Copies of this chain bind each other. A is one copy, B any other.
């Protein structure tokens, strides 16, 4: 449990009292209480207020706010205020300003704007974290530390360049090793001195849109930048921990955000927290996948939903309102998938600047008589009633889908074979196939223990890290089912090709050789023709994007291409390996194929969906102390009926006891637990 002081699903969000006056503060507290809010994230962007010049620190205002809220039963998620440096610092110490990808030294403005290798930034950001921790470590209101905010963006300044060289020296030891790792004999890029290495930007090896001429340096720069920002986080973490040994520390992540390797970051977070901002047209299964990924960062440990909007965003193209019931529905979707908090950006809308049209619990009108407030308050009441029942409950999945940031970077950077390959989209296609069948999935990193799974899927496992092929072989040997796809097993961690035939280190496990890789415009399709029906796989399907031209080297050919000059070559293979089997999907298939593939492999393993329900009805289960909580989330605009058959369940939200056919209203949610017969 996050913190025993508040043993329930925390409910609240970002709050910026420094933008307001005394009268508003009182009104805010009155309304927070009305809404059932019990936690406020304070101090996110107050560095300039906290430290008006180099030597002065001023926290009285914060003392007052924390105390004022606490006296009304509202706890604090305490931010360190370092996500935007003060203007005076930018002027006095320009080293805090980034140089951007185009090589331009930036001026003061925006946020998330500090060079991560700036000595000034590192010194003052850790110092203020230390001062805050010293001051508030014993305050009973402070439940969790929120370091900085939404880390991201890269810098290309000279101090980053120097730090990059040091990072390389640590990683590779010698310049010879760097030259080898990056294959610099290509295009005569051999380095004879460390100082010859410059950062890969639009001025050197890269072009906008993840285009690079040297994938090795570009990949390493991404690692280095992710690490540099993480170092900033860790400096603050350590500064806090030096003062405060217990309070959990986090920073808010952003789902499938590109820049940072969150699996690496999560090792240094006591609890994962993240900000969930789907668009009106974001597939709900995409949001579900992202929640599962955030849960997977720390191997299933529940996370904080740190931010979501109660109503609408401001930075989307068309900032549609969340329709009635949707805020509640999506809040429970978070909880269903591992969130132990439901928090908003923001509690009160600001009066000016860029986020003033971002929704808030308290709107510009300032009173509680709004649809948004009513929905917020109603949810607050429900969460209060749920109490601590769900806290720390876990998800039991027998299927793991691999997600890897470094692999993603390498795929993005690859020059050829196609620009149409979208790693996250490809992963989501597989995820969605399970989601549609209500089968629980864990999103896992490449360091995750595989023994807990019956099925492991690694879409486009282009980069195979050291030892991973062997671990997959063990997994399959021991009876696991493994599925991977086209353009897998191609390179090592430095994006150097594993010679001797694709899919490289995975070749034995898969029992195939991919001789060539064809790429066509995404509108051009080929056919997957099943040879003999296997499980649900039958007839023809379509595929596109990339087409591996493979030869079986022992694998069973499940399906062949139906068109083009490689008609008759295998497109789907299944290789027995030890007690298990390894599938290869040599092209990007349509959704129908994936449905049937999922059914087939799950049937083999005896894995079934949580429940049978209509399309658009999402399910998920969390378990705790032997008790299972089954979430039913109706994303449809119509009511939907599902069948509990002879099970007897109780809905924690309505209190209703249910069996047989059950109807759930449009946008409604149920959290069902099994009842003993006698209880009914």
Question: Measuring CB to CB, which residues of chain A are less than 8 angstroms from any residue of chain B?
Answer: 16, 18-19, 45-49, 52-53, 81, 84, 86-88, 90-91, 102-111, 182-193, 195-201, 203-206, 212-216, 280, 311-321, 323-324, 349-358, 363-366, 370-372, 414-420, 494-497, 499-502, 513, 515-522, 549, 565
> What is the CA–CA distance of A193 and B352 in the complex, to the nearest angstrom?
21
Among all A-B residue pairs, the 3 with the closest Cβ atoms? A183-B352, A109-B204, A314-B416
Task: Say whether, besides A196-B90, A204-B110, A496-B351, A183 and B53 are in contact (CB < 8 Å).
Answer: no
Contacts of A418 in B (CB 8 A): 317-319
> What is the CA–CA distance of A6 and B323 in the complex, to the nearest angstrom?
66
Please determine whether A213 and B496 come into contact, CB atoms closer than 8 angstroms.
no
Contacts of A496 in B (CB 8 A): 351-352
Please determine whether B198 and A355 come into contact, CB atoms closer than 8 angstroms.
no
Q: How many copies altogether?
A: 3
CB distance from A39 to the nearest CB of B (A): 21
> What is the CA–CA distance of A414 and B105 in the complex, to the nearest angstrom?
26
Contacts of A420 in B (CB 8 A): 317-318
The contact of A108 among B198, B416, B522, by CB within 8 Å, is B198
Please determine whether A187 and B111 come into contact, CB atoms closer than 8 angstroms.
yes
Please determine whether A353 and B187 come into contact, CB atoms closer than 8 angstroms.
yes
Cβ-closest chain B residue relative to A501: B365
Question: Could you name 21 residue pairs across A and B whose Cβ atoms are closer than 8 Å?
Answer: A45-B188, A48-B184, A102-B104, A107-B203, A107-B204, A108-B204, A109-B206, A110-B205, A212-B354, A215-B352, A280-B520, A313-B416, A317-B419, A318-B521, A319-B417, A319-B519, A321-B519, A352-B494, A356-B497, A364-B502, A365-B500
Contacts of A187 in B (CB 8 A): 45, 84, 110-111, 353
Please determine whether A414 and B107 come into contact, CB atoms closer than 8 angstroms.
no
Please determine whether B315 and A415 come into contact, CB atoms closer than 8 angstroms.
yes
CB distance from A625 to the nearest CB of B (A): 40
Task: Say whether, besides A110-B205, A204-B109, A204-B110, A87 and B497 are in contact (CB < 8 Å).
Answer: no
> What is the CA–CA distance of A105 and B103 in the complex, to the nearest angstrom?
9
Please determine whether B84 and A183 come into contact, CB atoms closer than 8 angstroms.
no
The contact of A48 among B189, B313, B321, B501, by CB within 8 Å, is B189
Contacts of A353 in B (CB 8 A): 182-184, 186-187, 189, 213-216
Please determine whether B318 and A365 come into contact, CB atoms closer than 8 angstroms.
no
Cβ-closest chain B residue relative to A513: B365
Which of A106, A197, A324 gathers most chain B CB within 10 Å? A106
> What is the CA–CA distance of A521 and B280 in the complex, to the nearest angstrom?
10
CB distance from A665 to the nearest CB of B (A): 14
Please determine whether B182 and A352 come into contact, CB atoms closer than 8 angstroms.
yes
Task: Say whether, besides A49-B185, A108-B196, A415 and B88 are in contact (CB < 8 Å).
Answer: no
Please determine whether B350 and A183 come into contact, CB atoms closer than 8 angstroms.
yes
Contacts of A517 in B (CB 8 A): 321, 357
CB distance from A76 to the nearest CB of B (A): 18
Extra contacts, 16 of them, besides A186-B352, A319-B418, A321-B519 (Cβ < 8 A), are A16-B186, A84-B189, A91-B193, A103-B104, A109-B213, A183-B351, A186-B355, A212-B354, A215-B352, A216-B352, A312-B518, A314-B415, A317-B420, A318-B519, A365-B499, A372-B516
> What is the CA–CA distance of A204 and B87 in the complex, to the nearest angstrom?
11
> What is the CA–CA distance of A314 and B19 in the complex, to the nearest angstrom?
52
Contacts of A87 in B (CB 8 A): 189-192, 196-197
Contacts of A565 in B (CB 8 A): 323-324
Task: Say whether, besides A110-B205, A419-B318, A88 and B502 are in contact (CB < 8 Å).
Answer: no
Please determine whether B516 and A315 come into contact, CB atoms closer than 8 angstroms.
no
Please determine whether A203 and B104 come into contact, CB atoms closer than 8 angstroms.
yes
> What is the CA–CA distance of A47 and B352 in the complex, to the nearest angstrom?
45
The contact of A350 among B108, B110, B186, B206, by CB within 8 Å, is B186
Cβ-closest chain B residue relative to A110: B213
